Structure 1
Amino acid sequence: MRRFAFTPGGEQTLPLFVETIGIVIERKMVRTEGYPFFHWLQTTRGEGSFTVNGSTFALPVNSGVLLYAGTPHQYEASTELWETAYLTFGGPSVAEMLHTLKLQEGVPVRWDADAPLTGLLRDMLDRLETEPDLFGLNASADAYRFLIALRHYGRFDNRTDIAHGSERLRPLLEWLELHYADAEIGLAEMSGVLDVPVSTLNLWFHHTFGLSPYAYLVQLRLRKAKELLIGASDVTVKEIAERVGFRDASHFVATFRRKTGLPPRQFRRLYE
């Protein structure tokens, strides 16, 4: 068993702090009142059975589960040896982080064997055991990187992970980088690039990015507009609207303001 626990102190003032991290051999655990911190548990060898929110599911290698603080749960080994890696953490910004990353509670997460998730917690534990981290800053940064990787490579409810979903959409994403300025682009043109039905295209985008194909295109156009607003001061807002694919300047200004909180001219002044 390997375990690293932080002494309560300054690290708990961080937006995200690590309480414990470890690798253990599991038997059976019943927590009727849950755990006082957010809790991630993943299988490194063998297999376990996990029960939470009235559902029981298997946790084989390359799978894990995230629990919020205070969620009742229980788990036990399904094989003779069940080794797990775990991370417990807290902080005033954690709930918002998890919501933004769309990391679901109490749902089994799967990932491919070659995904870096498999060894991230072990690497993190190695660093904590060999490098001083008196204020928990390194552990906090590592934990945040782990959550980002979990969102990137994990599959929730058998959804496609972002890495593989992006690969499937890559031809279209590359095409949009070249043709985003065409105001005539619609769902028919985008689905035609991949030769799939519009319904399939919508499903792939929602599972990979959490938004529709057209919303992705709007985000791309706004990103290109920001680059022009910052790097091409001689180009008018009306010209920028045309260059990035908006049919008229008023629609561009309204969309830019709604998405960024600032009108284009005010955004430009921030970088003058």
Structure 2
Amino acid sequence: MQTTYFPIQDLTSHSLPIYLSSIGYDYMEGHMHRPEGYGRYQWVHTTTGEGELSLHGRLYSLPVGHGMFLYPNVPHTYYPKTHLWTTEWLSFDGKDIAQLVDAIGFHSSGVYQLDHLDQFKTYLREGYRLATSTNQYSTLDMSSFLYNFLIELIKNVKPLHKTSRSNQYDKLQPVLLYLDAHYAQPLLLETMAELIHVSPQYLCTLFKKVFNTRPSAYLNHLRINKAKEMMLTQPHKSIAQIAKEVGVESPSYFSALFKKHEHKTPNEFILLHRPL
């Protein structure tokens, strides 16, 4: 049986970073033509049959286990390719939704292959239960559900056509893993670039596009984070020892670098986080 729900939006909803606009499952889709798009973010995945999406001048098949993530106000059309096409879906919005979906990894509208379809069927029904609850905190519960749903979604989908940003992040993965394992050693830009077979200049371009910083600044940030972990878990070590173990030979330079990142000295950080 088709099940849909459109919750009443109150002042609390519109002040939240993310809130539910609609939800549905076992829904029999028809021909949907939206030349001006839809006013909310949408996730729709196929549970039986097959549909087709027209987006940005291209056609995408939506068989079982495939879904579409659609940004608001993006023109699109979708329709059944088989006699019966059923989906599960939700739409959502929020005060900080644009930054949230981009940070999670949905940088634009697109089509995805979904792993663990049965798991997401369970998620959608739990979302429906929360949305229709008369609990006074149901709006907050639903906001929390949506946040976790999107995180699980990005972890369990494969984009059929990756965005350039996704490709750039994937390209940098060997470098990021290498830095995490060798941050305490002297590291040359050329060494990092060789890991992914690019020039040092292009490596800097990739870091700028993905992290909005240079490789050296990323490494310094990583070293400071590792140092903070040591300060809290290895209190017997001096600041000079910790500096050396994260790859900074000069204690004075380490202190200056630490203050630049944390806006406090290493000793101030320790006093702030260690119990009396």
Give the distance between the partners of 1:63 and 1:257, measured in 2 at CA: 48
Number of the residue aligned with 2:44? 41
2:3 matched residue in structure 1: 2
Q: What is the match of residue 149 of structure 1? A: 152
Separation in structure 2 between the aligned mates of residue 214 and residue 44 of structure 1, nearest angstrom: 47
Structure 1's 215 and 78: CA in aligned 2 closer, same or farther, altered over 3 A?
farther
- Please list every run of 5 or more consecutive structure 1 residues that lacks an aligned counterpart in the other structure: none
Q: TM-score, with normalisation over the residues of structure 2?
A: 0.73
Work out which of the residue numbers 24, 28, 31 in structure 1 matches 2:31: 28
Whether 2:169 is the aligned partner of 1:137: answer no
Structure 2 unmatched ranges of 5 or more: none
- How many residue pairs align between the two structures? 255
Aligned residue for 1:75?
78
Matches of 1:215 and 1:151 in 2, distance apart? 28
Contact 1:124–1:139 (Cα < 8 Å) also in 2:
no
Counterparts of 1:251 and 1:117 in 2: how far apart (Å)?
50
1:54 CA displacement: 2.4
| Equivalent position amino acid for 2:102 in 1 | H
Provide the rounded CA distance (Å) in 1 between the counterparts of 2:83 and 2:263: 56
Distance 1:43 1:258 in 2: 50
Kindly tell me: are residues 253 and 38 of structure 1, through their superposed partners in 2, closer, same or farther at Cα, counting changes over 3 Å?
farther
What is the rounded CA distance, in whole Å, between the counterparts of 1:224 and 1:31 in structure 2?
50
**Residue in structure 2 matching 1:66, options 66, 69, 73:** 69
Q: Which protein shows a greater Rg?
A: 2
Select 2:93's aligned residue among 90, 93, 107. Answer: 90
Per mean C-alpha deviation after superposition, the further-off stretch among 134-143 and 262-271 is 262-271
Q: Secondary structure at the match of 1:108?
A: strand
Comparing 260-269 with 7-16, greater Cα deviation is found at 260-269
Is 2:18 the counterpart of 1:16? yes
Percent of residue pairs identical: 29
Alignment partners' CA distance in 2, 1:213 and 1:47: 45
1:56-92 deviations in whole A, cap 9, x for unaligned?
A: 2112222212222222211001112111111111111
CA gap 1:83/1:261 in 2 versus in 1, 3 angstroms:
farther
Q: CA 1:72–1:248 in structure 2 vs 1: closer, same or farther (change >3 Å)?
A: same
After TM superposition, the score normalised by the length of structure 1 is 0.73
**Preserved CA contact (<8 Å) 2:45 2:89:** yes
Contact between 2:7 and 2:131, CA under 8 Å: does it hold in 1?
A: no
Following TM superposition, by how much is the alpha carbon of 1:104 offset from its aligned partner in structure 2, in angstroms? 2.5
Q: Deviations over 1:15-49 (max 9, x none)?
A: 11111111111111011222121111111222111
